[in-house]
Amino acid sequence: MDKNNLDRRKFLKNTGLAAVAIPFLQNSCTEKTATAKEKNTEETFEFAFLTDIHIKPEMNAPQGFQMAIDKVNELQPDFVITGGDLVYDAMRGDFDKCEPLFNLYKEMAKGFQMPIYNCLGNHDLFAIYEESPESAEHPDYKYGMWERHFGKSYYSFDHKGWHFITLNSLDVTPNKRYKAIFHDAQLDWLKKDLAKVDKTTPIIITTHIPMMCTYTQLNGGNGRVVENAPDAFKILENHNLKLVLQGHIHWKEFGMVNDRFHFLTGGSIAGNGWKGRRHNTKEGFVKIKVTGEDFTWDYIDHGWEAERLKIGVGTKV
């Protein structure tokens, strides 16, 4: 058994998550496994999930991201999914500062030797904060800059019998802060998208802000999850949801709900603003191996912690 499996078991046991029984779907996991066997869909593939990259020219960030790109290329997954916060930071910025950040990310991401599917994070929202010199009338405001560079901020694609959905988990409050929500137009789109997907097709959702997260249970406070995530779960309830991939918190957590689906918050590439670990989670990314209707995962250390310690940046914890 690999270390992550042991960590997962220990974590679920310690938090009691393994015993949580939340009614979600009527279908049982066993039925789905039988379906997979009937269909003989034991296809195997791997993909990488890199979240919270926070690219900027300072703090050796390009060096750290390049090491992650090199590690992904060494592993040769079929594709890469990112979890948002591609740049740092567009929320407070002006055009002349933000546009080069997106260009830097795009230039560096060309180094991946496989397709990349990007997700939007709060730091990628252009000029939404009060202190930004740009107005809400700017064509790149909010989602505009991200969409001009990467296309739609919510979309889906299929790979070897699995359906992947990337969601936009962000909007802006009237007092100009970001808020974690799936807006109505997107939920309508999600219904339409799922109407075209067979009920037995395994589904993976990617969202920057978590739909489920243990952060507040452990640390108090509120927020840190999409406020109307239950509306999205309701839309998904008669489908074969397998996994929700999440970013934003810069920590690593993995949970299973009711023998049905898992949620995985995938650490971060940037750690604590490129200064070291965040929440004791080492900088890294997730490699997921899919076999039939099941998956396993590993958290990959691309060597950045060792490298930054060598050049005198940050500490281990």
Judged by beta carbon, residue 85 or residue 253, the one nearer Fe ion is 85
What is the Cβ-side half-sphere exposure of residue 77, based on CA atoms within 13 angstroms? 26
Q: Which of 8, 32, 36, 52 binds Fe ion (CB under 5 A)?
A: 52
Stretch in the footprint of Fe ion (CB under 5 A) among 52-60, 134-142, 189-197, 308-316 = 52-60
Nearest to 272 by CA among 50, 65, 52, 122: 52
Judged by beta carbon, residue 52 or residue 253, the one nearer Fe ion is 52
- Count of residues touching Fe ion (by CB under 5 A): 2
Q: Which residues of the chain form beta strands (DSSP E)? A: 44-50, 79-82, 116-117, 155-159, 162-166, 170-172, 178-180, 202-207, 240-246, 252-257, 261-266, 285-291, 294-300
Cα distance between residue 23 and residue 27, in whole Å: 10
**Shortest distance in whole angstroms from residue 52 CB to Fe ion:** 4
**Shortest distance in whole angstroms from residue 21 CB to Fe ion:** 32
Distances (CA, A) of 302 to 70, 138, 286: 8, 38, 10
Cα distance between residue 165 and residue 304, in whole Å: 29
Stretch in the footprint of Fe ion (CB under 5 A) among 17-25, 48-56, 101-109, 165-173 = 48-56
Stretch in the footprint of Fe ion (CB under 5 A) among 35-43, 46-54, 139-147, 277-285 = 46-54
Judged by beta carbon, residue 46 or residue 52, the one nearer Fe ion is 52
Cα distance between residue 184 and residue 192, in whole Å: 13
**Shortest distance in whole angstroms from residue 115 CB to Fe ion:** 23
Binding string, residues 60-89; x marks residues near Fe ion by CB under 5 A = -------------------------x----
Q: Hey, how many other C-beta atoms are within 10 angstroms of the C-beta on 195?
A: 7
**Shortest distance in whole angstroms from residue 125 CB to Fe ion:** 12
**Shortest distance in whole angstroms from residue 45 CB to Fe ion:** 27
Judged by beta carbon, residue 25 or residue 53, the one nearer Fe ion is 53
Judged by beta carbon, residue 170 or residue 241, the one nearer Fe ion is 170
Within 85-124, which residues bind Fe ion (CB under 5 A)?
Answer: 85
Cα distance between residue 219 and residue 281, in whole Å: 15
Judged by beta carbon, residue 85 or residue 305, the one nearer Fe ion is 85
Cα distance between residue 106 and residue 150, in whole Å: 9
- Cβ-proximal residues to 254 (8 Å cutoff; 6+ apart), any chain: 4, 8, 11, 262, 263, 264, 265, 297
Judged by beta carbon, residue 52 or residue 293, the one nearer Fe ion is 52
**Shortest distance in whole angstroms from residue 266 CB to Fe ion:** 11
Judged by beta carbon, residue 52 or residue 140, the one nearer Fe ion is 52
Q: Evaluate whether 101 touches 94 at the Cβ level (below 8 Å).
A: no
Nearest to 100 by CA among 92, 91, 89: 89
**Shortest distance in whole angstroms from residue 90 CB to Fe ion:** 12
Judged by beta carbon, residue 204 or residue 269, the one nearer Fe ion is 269
Asked whether position 283 contacts Fe ion by CB under 5 A, the answer is no
**Shortest distance in whole angstroms from residue 67 CB to Fe ion:** 18
**Shortest distance in whole angstroms from residue 12 CB to Fe ion:** 25
Distances (CA, A) of 250 to 53, 92, 224, 247: 10, 20, 11, 7
Stretch in the footprint of Fe ion (CB under 5 A) among 19-27, 50-58, 232-240, 307-315 = 50-58
- Span between the terminal Cα atoms of the chain, in Å: 26
Residues that bind Fe ion (CB under 5 A): 52, 85
